[in-house]
Amino acid sequence: MKKKSSSASKRKKKEEFEYRIFLGFIFFNLIYFLFFEIKLIGTDIRYHIFILGIPIILGFIFSTKYNIFGVSWKEMFLEIKKRNNFFRSIYNLVLFFLGNIVFSCLTFGFLATIFWDSINVYQSSKNRIETYYLPVEEFHLKKGKGSNKIYFRFKNNLESIKVDYQTIKPYLDQQPKDYKIVLVVREGIWNHYALESWDLIKV
């Protein structure tokens, strides 16, 4: 009985510790993306592989291997075999999968983003300022939980800048083709550029 009680107590402490860590990462994600995230423009397959893909996969493996949510894949499949309700079992499996993905994004993905931003800040600070005058593709007013954005093409790729409603409001009844966006940037790494400032001009 003592061994079972001790084991349950240790498991509870482990879960409480992991829960605090998880909440901490949620808090730091919010603070970082609200106040400290730098705006980068550009795209490169290496970014999608090494900064997005691999960290999230590693985080997912870590989360499932160490049973961050207190359930292992083995336990999950055993539970599915026991249940008669197939749809309920699939629902739990999907929920378990998504939970581990979210954990991975908030932890490993977050740390990879900070590392990526830091490298670009350092590298771009050593490069000269460049200015681009690019045609506006669209003034996009958010719908639901989306964002107000100004779309344009940079290096043949569709890019956007998030803006608040007051910024985009004067342009909603205007033709995008009548405007150009002026980008002041510094080159970072892997075809990405740190945005210093931007403006809209009528052509």
Tell whether 118 and 29 lie within a shared domain. yes
Each residue's pLDDT tens digit, 107-159: 999 999 999 999 999 999 999 999 999 999 999 998 776 789 999 999 999 99
Tell whether 12 and 54 lie within a shared domain. yes
Tell whether 36 and 120 lie within a shared domain. yes
Return the pLDDT at 71.
Answer: 63
* Burial bucket for residue 16 (CB in 10 Å: 0-12, 13-18, 19+): exposed
Domain count, the chain: 2
Tell whether 13 and 96 lie within a shared domain. yes
Contacts of 3 (CB under 8 A, 6+ apart): none
Give the domain range for residue 167: 129-202
Return the pLDDT at 146.
Answer: 73
Instruction: Rounding to the nearest 10 degrees, give the CA dihedral for residues 40, 43, 45, 50.
Output: 0
Tell whether 47 and 102 lie within a shared domain. yes
Return the pLDDT at 3.
Answer: 55
Contact 147, 102 (CB under 8 A): no
Tell whether 120 and 142 lie within a shared domain. no
What type of residue is 146? Answer: G
Tell whether 56 and 20 lie within a shared domain. yes
Tell whether 161 and 185 lie within a shared domain. yes
User: What whole-number distance in Å separates Cα of residue 105 and Cα of residue 110?
Assistant: 6
* Domain end point (choices 99, 125, 151): 125
Tell whether 84 and 157 lie within a shared domain. no
Tell whether 69 and 141 lie within a shared domain. no
Tell whether 143 and 55 lie within a shared domain. no
Tell whether 64 and 31 lie within a shared domain. yes
* Domain end point (choices 75, 93, 125): 125
How far, CA to CA in Å, does 110 sit from each of 42, 85, 102, 106? 19, 37, 11, 5
* Domain end point (choices 95, 110, 125): 125
Return the pLDDT at 85.
Answer: 66
Q: What is the mean pLDDT of each run of 10 residues along the chain (203 residues)?
A: 62 76 92 93 96 96 79 66 71 83 94 97 97 97 84 96 94 96 98 97 95
